Amino acid sequence: MGGQPMFILSEDTERTRGQDAQSSNIAAGKAVSEAVRTTLGPRGMDKMLVSDAGDVVITNDGATILGEMDIEHPAAQMITEVAETQEEEVGDGTTTAAVLAGQLLAKAETLLDDDVHPTTIVEGYHEAAQLAHEAVDEQVLAGDDLDDDRLRGVARTSMTGKGTGDVGAEALAETVVEAIRQVEGDDGVARDEISIRTQTGSSSSATELVEGVISEEEPVREDMPKSVENASIAVLDVEFDIREANVDAEYDVSSVDQLNAAIDAEESQFEQYADALADLDVDVAFVTEDIEDRAAAYLAEEGILAFEGVDDDEARSIVRATGASRVGAIEDLEASDLGEAEQVRVESFGEDELAFVEGGAAAEAVTVFARGGTDHVTDELERALHDALDVATAALDSGGVVPGGGASEIAIAAHVRDQTASIEGRRQLAVEAFADAVDVLPRTLAENTGMDPIDALVDLRSRHDSEGRAGLISEGQTGRADDPVEAGVFDPAAVKHEAIESATEAATMIARIDDVISADN
Ligand code: ADP
Ligand code: MG
């Protein structure tokens, strides 16, 4: 045989194999999860992220941090994806999931060093994950019958330590539950009917629930009404301008009379738009296209409040809330296309004006109107509210709540350890390692609260054994081991299930890789 060696990869290809590949992947995964570890829990720290362009984001939100970081290593990207999946599926627990994935990798590294085969680790982790799901199910407090108290608890827990400004998580939780209850129906929570609108220029304590839609558009003219009660509303995809055909027509303006005639023709066209709306008693028009100045003047004369350039999403919300139908031509507009709202009013906030469409006749659309002093405050407030709305929805629609503050993690680790004795061979080591990885979550909560992590863990375990559950309740500058149910600290069960699922998947996928082949580019 012999002869020429065979090259199946181009010379530019970089290749890392075996242990080298594994340790580089694991190190990258761990590094990413370490990056978010200090933000976990109510006393977690914030991160300030500065983009290439110099934009600054200050946040405590795991998915946001990882999303803003410029992560290149493929294994590190997989951990980022864990956080993304978590955010998409349940809207919270992104830090938890990323930290767990990193810890599973760290423990896997130790096992690999001890010559446990990757396949054994993968099997052990999957088995342990099953046990972890069981433990979460056992901890569920109220399946589909959550009272407002617990719902507020789960919303508040998700917001504690986030940038909730001076208003505090308590008051916001109340607004969140109010919003959720408004859109709750037989088919569950219509989460899409809840929007968040932010506006700077006030303290966050002015945050409130508006029963309707808030549009960013300003009235086309100052002399239009600022407020209309029992409003008939038209939503139009119509350009309020001279039609193409008319524009193209060439006027022979050799005489002043002819010029006047041409102008009159245009004027009458503008007037017709306003007349058509007035004839149907339209009070408010939301127009997705432009309104020519002279057309606007006629609308104002008829006392119609009109908005132009309304964006598509807003037009859709207004349609859903008021029962209007979108119409593409003025001639087609009929009385049955109009929507209704108890009130449409325009309010000024410093430089900005917002239009409130309240008490719409159709859907129960609601908007959380989030206020704050600066954009940084309202941005973080919006993220916190977003999470809180998602967790409350997840709690109501997918499986209730479990005690928070690390209590469910303590229960998971205990349950997994209980079962290890019955597991044969080296897989047992992997199952144990899984429990150790889960322990890092309450440990980190303790660390971030300024408590001694070892003492806290010992304390939590013994309380868990004697009382069935124990969590770290953050209190002022420190924390104590106590019953999270009494303290009102809850997480949705779905958040825990998802974190176990996605962290296990990413960690086992990374642990399996023993060859990294990258095209040079
Ligand atoms: P994640 O991105 O994983 O949601 P967070 O920073 O939001 O990370 O922290 C979530 C953890 O903080 C959960 O385990 C939750 O139970 C815990 N937690 C929230 N509020 C409290 C509180 N007041 N006391 C103790 N733990 C809390
Ligand atoms: Mg959270």
Which contacts of 15-23 are long-range, i.e. CB under 8 A and separated by 24 or more positions? Answer: 15/515, 15/516, 15/517, 15/518, 16/515, 16/516, 17/514, 17/515, 17/516, 18/514, 18/515, 19/112, 21/513, 21/514, 21/515, 21/516, 22/109, 22/112, 22/118, 22/511, 22/513, 22/514, 23/109
- The reply to whether 520 belongs to the active site is no
- The answer to whether residues 40 and 441 touch, using CB atoms and an 8 Å cutoff, is yes
pLDDT digits (tens, 9 = 90+) for 244-291: 545 445 556 667 777 788 778 888 888 998 999 999 999 999 999 999
356 and 489 share a domain? no
- Indicate whether 341 and 449 sit together in one domain: no
Residues 443 and 348 in one domain: no
Of the three residues 313, 338, 362, the one that is the final residue of a domain is 362
Q: Is residue 436 part of a domain?
A: yes
Q: Is 160 in the pocket of ligand 1 (CB under 6 A)?
A: yes
Same domain, 228 and 345: yes
Q: Is 444 a catalytic residue?
A: no
DSSP three-state, residue 8: coil
Residues with Cβ within 8 Å of residue 424, at least 6 apart in sequence: none
Residue 222 shares a structural domain with residue 302: yes
**Run of H or E including 313:** helix 312-322
**pLDDT surpasses 90 at 350:** no
Task: Please indicate, yes or no, whether residues 409 and 281 belong to a single structural domain of this protein.
Answer: no
Q: Is 61 a catalytic residue?
A: yes
94 is a catalytic site residue: yes
* 222: Cβ contacts below 8 Å, ≥ 6 apart: none
From CA 404, how far away is CA 136, in angstroms rounded? 11
Q: What is the 3-state secondary structure (H, E, C) of 35-46?
A: HHHCCCCCCCCC
d(CA 232, CA 340): 5
Q: Does residue 405 contact residue 488 with C-beta atoms inside 8 Å?
A: no
Token pair in block for residue 111: 């096992």
For residues 116 and 220, membership in a common domain is answered with no
Residue 166 token pair: 């001076």
Residue 160 CA, closest ligand 1 atom number: 20
CATH number for the domain harbouring residue 308: 3.50.7.10
On whether both 238 and 356 belong to a single domain, the answer is yes
- Torsion angle (degrees, nearest 10) of CA 92, 95, 99, 101: 40
* The domain boundary residue, chosen from 300, 331, 362: 362
Tokens of 430: 């992997």
Q: Flag whether 193 is in a domain.
A: no
Label residue 148 by pLDDT band (50, 70, 90).
very high
Average pLDDT over residues 148-172: 84
Residue 25 phi/psi, 5-degree rounding, is -65, -45
Total domains in the fold of the chain:
2
CATH code where residue 114 lies: 1.10.560.10
379 lines ligand 1 (CB under 6 A): no
Decide which of 339, 362, 385 is a domain's last residue. 362
Q: What's the pLDDT at 165?
A: 63
Q: Give the model confidence (pLDDT) of 485-501 as tens digits.
A: 999 999 999 999 999 99
Are the beta carbons of 379 and 55 closer than 8 angstroms? Answer: no
Q: If pLDDT is split at 50, 70 and 90, which confidence band does 9 have?
A: low
Q: Tell me, what's the pLDDT at 521?
A: 53
Residues in Cβ contact with 447 at an 8 Å cutoff, skipping those fewer than 6 apart: 453
Question: Which DSSP string corresponds to 246-306?
Answer: HHHSPP--SSHHHHHHHHHHHHHHHHHHHHHHHHTT--EEEESS-B-HHHHHHHHHTT-EE
Q: Name the nearest CA neighbour of 465 among 455, 477, 457.
A: 457
Residues 216 and 358 in one domain: yes
State the residue for tokens 């507020």: 152
Residues 332 and 225 in one domain: yes
Give the mean pLDDT of 379-395. 92
**Is the pLDDT assigned to residue 392 strictly greater than 70?**
yes
In a domain, 217, yes or no: yes
Is residue 458 in a domain? yes
Look at residue 484 and tell me if it is in a domain.
yes
Please report the pLDDT score of residue 250 as a whole number.
Answer: 58
Residues 295 and 358 in one domain: yes
- Mean per-residue pLDDT for 146-163? 88
- Asked, for residue 369, whether it belongs to a domain, the answer is no
Residues 437 and 499 in one domain: yes
Ligand number nearest CA of 42 is 1
User: Where in the sequence is the domain holding 432, given as residue range(s)?
Assistant: 14-141+402-518
List, for residues 172-221, the tens digit of each pLDDT value.
999 999 999 999 988 899 998 999 999 998 888 889 999 999 999 989 99
Domain membership of residue 255 (yes or no) is: no
Testing ligand 1's pocket by substitution, the residue of 59, 157, 159, 472 carrying the most ligand atoms inside 8 A of its CB is 157
Mean pLDDT for 310-321 is 92
Average pLDDT, integer, range 10-21: 73
pLDDT-based confidence at 78, cuts 50/70/90? confident
Which of 43, 96, 150, 412 has the most ligand 1 atoms within 8 A of CB, as the residue to mutate?
96
Q: For position 169, what pLDDT does the model report?
A: 82
- Say if residues 330 and 276 touch (Cβ distance below 8 Å): yes
Question: Hey, which of 88, 160, 385, 478 would you mutate to test ligand 1's pocket, going by the most ligand atoms within 8 Å of its Cβ?
Answer: 160
Token pair of 55 as six digits: 């934009």
d(CA 306, CA 295): 10
Residue 323 resides in a domain? yes
Average pLDDT over the chain reads: 88
Q: Could you tell me if the CB of 502 is within 6 A of ligand 1?
A: no
